[in-house]
């Protein structure tokens, strides 16, 4: 009798504990709760992916740097009428190189030896070019460069320069225009035009100063 009573007491004591751990306590969340949890997880995954994509990689973090190009010298092409007007109205370090009526204008050549050399080296082979400027300093720098290149240079390669000075021209407004001509020719001794079909010769004139008036071939009238 005592054993039966004791067993009944123990069963009644552990009954609340067993009910606490019943399977119903760990029931799965409702469908709406699952949807909210899964939606929040998806949002977090998208945010994490966006952050990862925004991080610079070894490839994107290195900015490609283009090699620096050598600055091109400033120039433009005008006709002889525009050149005449500018010579009368504009001052400055401006050089005009006339090739049969197409006048190339160069700026800031007096302080740029490289530019002066490129002008000579880029001259068409066997073509007489006429040079004009109303700036004495610009003229002297360019003419001295042409004279030095008469013996050739590494920039000219197998060619050299022929050049001579012309008489200055005074415009109606008193502006003095400095002039010379130059030509790029092969270095070969005794060259007389080669395949260009021309003969190389020089005329003299201009009064007591005996300035040359350029080669006989295709020189045409000076401006």
Q: What would the pLDDT profile of 32-45 be if each residue is shown by its tens digit? A: 555 554 555 665 66
- What is the rounded distance in angstroms from the CA atom of residue 116 to the CA atom of residue 150? 14
CA dist list (Å): 20 to 6, 11, 27, 141, 219: 23, 15, 13, 107, 118
Q: What would the pLDDT profile of 86-105 be if each residue is shown by its tens digit? A: 999 999 999 999 999 999 99
Contacts of 74 (CB under 8 A, 6+ apart): 106, 107, 108
- What is the rounded distance in angstroms from the CA atom of residue 128 to the CA atom of residue 100? 9
User: What does DSSP assign to residue 213?
Assistant: E
Beta bridge partners of 178: 133
pLDDT range class, residue 155, cuts 50, 70, 90:
confident
């Amino acid at each position: 009798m005592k054993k039966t009573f004791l067993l009944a007491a123990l069963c009644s004591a552990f009954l609340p504990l067993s009910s606490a751990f019943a399977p119903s306590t760990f029931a799965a969340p409702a469908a709406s709760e699952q949807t909210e949890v899964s939606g929040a997880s998806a949002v977090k995954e998208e945010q994490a992916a966006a952050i990862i994509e925004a991080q610079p990689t070894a490839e994107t973090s290195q900015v490609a740097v283009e090699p620096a190009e050598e600055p091109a010298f400033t120039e433009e092409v005008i006709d002889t009428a525009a050149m005449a007007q500018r010579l009368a109205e504009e001052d400055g370090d401006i050089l005009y190189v006339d090739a049969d009526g197409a006048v190339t204008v160069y700026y800031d050549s007096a302080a740029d030896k490289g530019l002066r050399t490129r002008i000579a080296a880029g001259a068409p082979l066997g073509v007489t070019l006429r040079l004009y400027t109303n700036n004495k300093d610009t003229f002297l720098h360019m003419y001295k460069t042409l004279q030095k290149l008469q013996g050739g240079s590494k920039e000219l390669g197998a060619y050299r320069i022929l050049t001579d000075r012309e008489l200055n021209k005074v415009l109606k407004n008193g502006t003095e225009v400095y002039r010379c001509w130059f030509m790029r020719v092969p270095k070969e001794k005794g060259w007389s035009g080669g395949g260009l079909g021309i003969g190389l010769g020089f005329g003299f004139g201009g009064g007591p100063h005996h300035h040359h008036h350029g080669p006989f071939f295709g020189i045409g009238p000076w401006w």
